[in-house]
Structure 1
Amino acid sequence: MKIRGYHGADINKIVSLFYETVHSINARDYSLEQLNAWAPKDEIEVKLTNWKESLSNNITYVAEINDKIVGFSDMSHNGHLDRLYIHKDFQGQGIATTLVNMLESEARELRISEIDTEASITARPFFERQGYQNIRSQTVERRNITLINYKMIKKLASE
C-alpha cells in the first residue's frame, strides 16, 4: 500500500469510490432511500467540482494498491476530519487506520489539539477503536430524508 497526497487528477476516481462505498458498505446501516439522499447519482457533476476544490484546500491523503485508489481521507486545517472512504473491496485491511494516523500526525505538527468528525453509523465503531469519543448523535437532513450520524472527537497527545 502506498499513501500519497491528493492530486486534482484523482477526483473522478475518488468520487466514484465514494458512491460505490456508500451504496455498498453503508447499506447495512441505512435504507436505500437514505443512501440515495446521501450519495445521489444526479449530484456527481456537482461533487466533481466541489470536492476537487475542497480536497485541494484540505489536507488530503490517498491510498493506492497496485496504482489503484483504494481509499482517501481529508481534514481541514482546523482539525475537522471531513471524509474517510475505503473501497468496498478493500475493507478491513488497515487502510482507514493508516489514513487516519497520517491525518492525526499532520494535526499534531500543526499543533491541533483535537480532531472532530461526523461518523456514520457504519463508521462509528471504527472511530471508537481509534480513540474517538462519541459526543452526541445527530440527525442530518439530505433531500428531505433524515440520517443519523455521530459527532466524535479525539484529543491528541503531543508526540
Structure 2
Amino acid sequence: MIVEARVEHAQIVCEVIRDSITRLCVKDHQNNQCILDAWLSNKTPENCETWIKSQASKSFVVIEDETPIGISIIGNNGYIYLCYMHPEKVGLGFGKQLILACENHATLLGLERLKVDSSLTAKKFYEAQGFVRSGDPFVEDNLRSYPLCKQLNS
C-alpha cells in the first residue's frame, strides 16, 4: 500500500535508504568506503524527518505489514529526489507504484514532466517506467548521474 510518508516513518525509511544504497548500488559506489560514506552522509533520521515534513515536496512510502519498505520523494517542481526500496523487496512492483504516486502528484500540480538524476543502478528501472535521457551523464561527489525525464499525459 502506498501512503504519504509521516514523521514517524523517518527512522525506518532512513534504514531502508541506507541499506538500499549499501547493498544494491555497488555498481555505483564500487564498495569504495569514501564514496559510500559521502553518499550516506546526509541519510540520517533527522534529515529524513525534514524531507518528509517539507512543504516543497511530497514523500510517499510503501507499507507492508505496517512497516515502510520503500520511499520516493518528489519536489513540487517535478524532480524526483529519491526512490529507494528495501533490498529484499526489489522487483516486486513496489518501486513502480512509488513512481506512479509521484506521477499522480505531479499531475495534480499541473506539471508536464518528471525529472531525475539517476544512479547507474536505478537507470534501467527508470527507463522501464518511461523515462528517457535528458542530458549528458555527470559526476558529482565521485558518483556518476544520468539525467532522465518523463513526459506526463496532460
TM-score by length of 1: 0.88
1:48-107 residue CA offsets vs partner (Å, 9 max, x unmatched): 222311222221111011112110101011111111000011010000000101110111
Runs of 4 or more consecutive aligned structure 1 residues displaced over 4 Å after TM superposition: none
2:24 aligned with 1:25: yes
More strand by proportion, 1 or 2? 1
After TM superposition, list the pairs within 5 Å mapping 1:45-124 onto structure 2.
47-57=44-54, 58-124=57-123
Worse overlay, 131-140 or 120-129: 131-140
Give the corresponding residue for 2:149. 153
Q: Could you say what secondary structure the match of 1:32 adopts?
A: coil
Which blocks of at least 5 consecutive residues in structure 2 are unaligned?
none
Worse overlay, 51-60 or 10-19: 51-60
- CA contact under 8 A between 1:73 and 1:82: conserved in structure 2? yes
1:90-149 residue CA offsets vs partner (Å, 9 max, x unmatched): 0100000001011101111110111111110000001111111112211001xxxx1101
2: CA distance, partners of 1:94 / 1:100:
10
- CA contact under 8 A between 2:17 and 2:84: conserved in structure 1? yes
TM-score by length of 2: 0.91
How far residue 152 of structure 1 moved from its aligned partner, in angstroms, is 0.9
Give the corresponding residue for 1:137. 137
Which blocks of at least 5 consecutive residues in structure 1 are unaligned?
none
Q: Could you say what secondary structure the match of 2:77 adopts?
A: coil
2: CA distance, partners of 1:116 / 1:14:
22
Q: What percentage of aligned pairs have identical amino acids? A: 21
- The aligned length equals 149
Give the corresponding residue for 1:38. 39
